[in-house]
Amino acid sequence: MATKESLLPLKMLLFSFHAANTIILSFLPLYLAYKGLNGTEIGWVLAIGPLASIFAQPFWGYMSDKYKSVKKSLLYCVIGLLIFSTLFFQMSGLIPIMFMGALFYFFTSPIGGLGDSLAQRRANDIGISFGTIRTWGSIGFAISSLIIGKTLSTYGVQHMIWPYLFFGFIALLVVLRLKDVKVESAPVKLKDVGILMKNKSFLFFLMAIVFLSVAHRTNDSFIGLYISELGGSEALVGLGWFVGVASEALIFAFAGFWFRKFHPLFFVMIAGILYSIRWFIYGLADDPMFVIGLQFLHGLTFGIFYLAALDYVTRLIPKSLQSTGHLVYYAVFFGISGIIGSLGGGAIMDHFGGGTLYYILGFISLAGTISIFIYHVAFSGRRAIQR
């Protein structure tokens, strides 16, 4: 009973943060379009988040490992989220929006990675599937996307700050009740991070997944605009995210039944193949309901890919550097890939349209699947780093 009680604040943190995050992920491009920015300018603003995360993710991960408290880092980040999101939504014009966006994302972008890192470590400690904890983030994302989509469709996307702050305050309340994970080791020093930089298996794995993560992050940034381009409303954008993340929640929830049957790299390659098929099909769309109807593929791509990749990264890094390693992985997945996807995707949307963008994503994902296979062959004989 104590275990369930100790997990409840963590589940609620994942629920509330991802409920807030879906508002940014799903509707910020539409909000920026409302502010008068074109596709290329929206791409620049969306790239600020991943750029900030490249610095923020390793920094907050390192601070967590150094002071042996994920909870403290989460608390500072959630407070920063509330302060700088309020300022961010007051800005007008490309430069002010980008400047305040950088500060906003510095505190916001690590929260998902820190929460997942804590969930992964808690799951390992008590012997349960990480997916059974992480699914609460997906549930929050799905419910928020559906409800907030309908709300903004009625009242206007310019009011998105209010539901965002609502979920942000819930996150602040629950983070105070989190249970930290204790690691029995000496305090981490900056030079210890060099262990990760010398881990060839870890570094080459991050390089191999970039293709898949670039395509995924491009879709995250522009699927709302693509649905809008096809004639869909904010409510349909929210519905599309609901369908996608509901399927993701199911994948996470039942991970304990399927995930351990094969090596995680096998699942990463399966996800890569499905990603390629998914993007090629999306490129054929001529109606927003076509895209929404196929959003169940989100669970079979991102859900499988994310679980498998995070599990594999956990095997490659020592326990004393788990938060740092997880957030370096996050910085690549959501940072570097997000910059490339936002800038490139925005320019392609402006000049060629959404259909062409998704055809290109299909080929990028195909290249990513091949890179994972090459990595598997090259490193299949190597052992995970000793704990």
**Mean pLDDT over each residue of the chain, to the nearest integer:** 87
Count of Cβ atoms closer than 10 Å to residue 3 Cβ: 13
- Section 194-212 average pLDDT: 86
Domains and CATH numbers, the chain: 2-379 (1.20.1250.20)
Residue 387: predicted pLDDT: 41
pLDDT for the residue numbered 386: 41
- The residue ranking higher by pLDDT, 110 or 58, is 110
Q: CA-to-CA distance for 383 and 379, rounded, in angstroms?
A: 8
DSSP 189-234: -GGGGHHHHT-HHHHHHHHHHHHHHHHHHHHHHHHHHHHHHTT--H
pLDDT at 380: 64
pLDDT at 245: 86
What does each C-alpha distance from 252 to 9, 112, 129, 303 come to in angstroms? 18, 15, 9, 7
* Per-residue confidence band for 383, with pLDDT thresholds at 50, 70 and 90: very low
pLDDT at 191 > cutoff 60? yes
Q: What is the mean pLDDT of residues 116-122?
A: 86
Percent of residues, the chain, with pLDDT higher than 90: 41
Question: Above pLDDT 70, what percent of the chain?
Answer: 94
Look at residue 154 and give its three-state secondary structure: helix
How far is residue 336's CA from residue 303's CA, in Å, rounded to a whole number?
A: 20
Max Cα-Cα span within the chain: 58
* Residue 132 in tokens: 């059974």
Whether residue 186 has pLDDT greater than 80: no
Distance (Å, rounded) from C-alpha 120 to C-alpha 326? 10
pLDDT band at 183 (very low <50, low <70, confident <90, very high): low
- pLDDT tens profile 249-296: 888 888 877 777 788 899 999 999 999 999 999 999 999 999 999 999
- Cα separation of 250 and 253, whole Å? 5
pTM, 2 dp: 0.75
The predicted pLDDT at position 122 comes to: 87
Predicted confidence (pLDDT) at residue 385 exceeds the cutoff of 50: no
Q: Where are the alpha helices (DSSP H) in the chain?
A: 2-34, 39-66, 70-88, 94-126, 130-155, 161-175, 194-197, 200-229, 234-253, 255-258, 264-283, 288-293, 297-298, 304-316, 322-330, 337-352, 354-379
Question: What is the C-alpha to C-alpha distance for residues 110 and 355, in angstroms, rounded to an integer?
Answer: 32
**Section 180-186 average pLDDT:** 62
pLDDT in tens, 317-371: 887 777 778 778 877 887 888 889 888 988 898 889 899 999 999 999 999 999 9
Over residues 370-379, the pLDDT tens digits come to: 999 999 988 7
